[in-house]
Amino acid sequence: MKFGIFPTEGGRDFDAAVAECKLAEEVGFDSAWVNDHQATEGENYWPAPLTRQAGVATATDDLELVTAVLILPLYHPLEVAQRAAQVDLMSNGRLTLGVGLGYVPKEFEAFGVPMDERAGRQIEGVKFIDKFFRADGPIDYDCPFFSVEDWQPLPEPVQEPRPPIWIGGWGPKQLERSVKFSDAWVPGVVVDNAGVEERTHQLRDIAAEHGKDFDEREHPLMREGVIAETHEEAVELGKEYLYQSYLDEYGDAFEHPYIDPEDLETFEKLAEDHFLVGTPAEVAEQIEDMKSRFALDHLAVRFHHSGMPTEDVQRQIELFGDEVVPQFQ
């Protein structure tokens, strides 16, 4: 089983994010994941995921680099394909390109992209990027959203036949698109484990309908985490930073389709069957529970939450790497 981290985002200290990735590599993590937000409440996120992964690539040796997820409809797919191929080249073949639809109207307005085109743009974008990655000569591509003629795909990615492509999202159409057009479905952090379990059953049926081997596909997952030497310390840390970040993000004007106001009543209620919280032994038990309920072979944990000091993030990464990761090797 593989484990990844989401390094620190927000503010002006990219060095902290790089240091966390280097530490994660040292203590046994397999990957670093970054997401893509353009407009949020507060300063808890950064945009430009491929640019950030290029920075991580030059500071690490073996850490896999995952975008989870890049909001593909916002960009021209040629630009995404070129940048992704460049990161794969810079990292000597360590990139996984995860993409999603996006759901924030303000972001689409800023980029001048109609939200009702996002599904079509995502499908055509993934198909184009797949063609770009695999090409051994000039390519043509024409669709209602963009057109490319006699284009030489450069640079050539390192991975053969191409870097992995994942599709994230929660609706049934996104599940089907992940099977038809990508290598894996990647669930986000917001929906609880019961939601992941339900959709994984759906995904198995969809894979069978399309003649795909569900068991041969990769099964990644993102979760929020708070880990400490004692349960009480983990809960205290979770209440101070993780819970507060959810209140700030989803408790007022900024809405999420899978967060209800009653979910935010207490940290304990929000965390139940949702977050990884506790001692290394407790967190390992929670991971084992997830593995017993749905397919899971690559788990990325976000230990950084808005306002959390760097030393707290690093302490969690080290504790998880030293005491949890070895139990799944």
Output the domain CATH number for residue 222: 3.20.20.30
pTM equals 0.96
Looking at the 3D structure of the chain, how many domains does it have? 1
Integer CA distances (angstroms), 192 to 40, 134, 222, 284, in order:
22, 36, 11, 17
pLDDT computed for residue 33 by the predictor:
98
pLDDT computed for residue 162 by the predictor:
98
pLDDT computed for residue 41 by the predictor:
58
pLDDT computed for residue 40 by the predictor:
64
Burial of 116 (C-beta count, 10 Å sphere; 0-12/13-18/19+): exposed
Low-confidence residues of the chain, pLDDT below 50? Answer: none
Q: Answer whether 101's CB lies under 8 Å from 122's CB.
A: yes
pLDDT computed for residue 219 by the predictor:
98
pLDDT computed for residue 245 by the predictor:
87
Q: Which domain holds residue 162?
A: 2-328
Bridge partners, residue 70, by sequence: 99
Q: How far apart are CA 168 and CA 255, in angstroms?
A: 19
pLDDT computed for residue 248 by the predictor:
81
pLDDT computed for residue 258 by the predictor:
72
